């Protein structure tokens, strides 16, 4: 069976088209993301502004054309943080239905975290040890504590990067006092996570797709070897502490204009990568994380896995 999965996120609209490849595996035929910034200007006021609404519908139409070309037998669409909270999200999904016939399911933060887990476990060999999985989004950040067999705890925090930018409006480059204020906000929002992870003595962080892919791409932007990855192949890549800290120092000192010239940094992430890196730095320091691993699978790959196998 051939399926198409649309992940309608706060920053990007992602499409994956895949088909069964025997057993529990699947073959990815198409995998693409379109920048939308659905939450721009209105996410903290629980509103999708008209300009963002129009960008979103245009992206859906583009993805739908691709789905028709690949002749997907079933289409599944998942809405996440921006659609969970926006007062006019029904108008948005009704417009999608009218134009394409696609039904959009707005999923809970718990369901989002579950799908992220099923994506991540396909890319690396986990053990019975407990790991902390993190997916950084525009509207929310999902944390999962799990091993190779089960999820022990999961939670979605409405502190995605788009929300942080709207709330703090950081300078360019970000100022030291702004970093302190933002980190204090992280601490107050994540007190339960900090206590739990320290209690469980978890030392490995797995970063799902998105910002972590960008970290790896920037760190290895000058490499000519296999360290640069294909989004079509399930992969996990370690990020050394030295490499991450070097990247962090580079990003927090950078201006928007300087980031446009940085290798490995996609234009759609130029605005948000500084706060994403700041967030990971806070997490690794506060939770005493020793190892960071990047997984290039996340929600949409987890959805494909579940749809084709369950």
Confidence of residue 228 (pLDDT cuts 50, 70, 90): very low
Q: What is the mean pLDDT of the chain?
A: 95
Nearest to 31 by CA among 7, 9, 55: 7
Q: What is the Cα–Cα distance from 197 to 220, expressed in whole angstroms?
A: 30
Which residue ranges form the domains of the chain, and what is each CATH number? 2-107 (3.30.420.40), 111-299 (3.30.420.150)
pLDDT at 232: 58
Element (DSSP H or E) covering residue 155 = strand 151-157
3-state secondary structure of 16: strand
For the stretch 95-137, pLDDT in tens is 999 999 999 999 999 999 999 999 999 999 999 999 999 999 9
For the stretch 126-177, pLDDT in tens is 999 999 999 999 999 999 999 999 999 999 999 999 999 999 999 999 999 9
pLDDT at 227: 46
């Amino acid at each position: 069976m051939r399926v198409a999965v649309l992940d309608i996120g706060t920053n990007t609209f992602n499409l994956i088209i895949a088909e069964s490849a025997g057993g529990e595996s699947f073959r990815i035929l198409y995998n693409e993301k379109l920048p939308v910034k659905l939450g721009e200007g209105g996410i903290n006021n629980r509103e999708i502004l008209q300009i963002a609404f129009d960008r979103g519908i245009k992206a859906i139409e583009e993805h739908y054309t691709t789905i028709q070309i690949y002749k997907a037998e079933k289409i599944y669409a998942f809405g996440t943080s921006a659609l969970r909270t926006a007062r006019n999200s029904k108008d948005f999904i009704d417009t999608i239905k009218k134009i394409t016939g696609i039904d959009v399911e707005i999923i809970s933060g718990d369901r989002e975290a579950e799908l992220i887990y099923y994506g991540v476990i396909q890319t690396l060999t986990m053990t019975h040890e407990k790991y902390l999985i993190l997916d950084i989004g525009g509207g929310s950040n999902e944390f999962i504590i799990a091993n190779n067999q089960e999820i022990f705890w999961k939670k979605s925090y409405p502190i995605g990067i788009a929300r942080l930018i709207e709330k703090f409006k950081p300078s360019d480059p970000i100022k030291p006092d702004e970093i302190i204020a933002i980190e204090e906000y992280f601490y107050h929002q994540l007190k339960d996570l900090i206590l739990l992870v320290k209690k469980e003595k978890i030392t490995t962080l797995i970063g799902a797709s998105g910002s972590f892919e960008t970290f790896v791409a920037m760190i290895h932007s000058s490499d000519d070897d296999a360290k640069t990855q294909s989004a079509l192949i399930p992969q996990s890549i370690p990020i050394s502490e030295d490499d991450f800290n070097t990247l962090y120092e580079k990003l927090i000192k950078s201006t928007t204009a300087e980031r446009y010239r940085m290798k490995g940094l996609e234009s759609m992430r130029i605005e948000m990568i500084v706060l994403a890196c700041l967030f990971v730095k806070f997490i690794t320091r506060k939770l005493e994380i020793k190892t960071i691993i990047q997984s290039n699978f996340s929600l949409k790959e987890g959805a494909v896995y579940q749809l084709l196998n369950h």
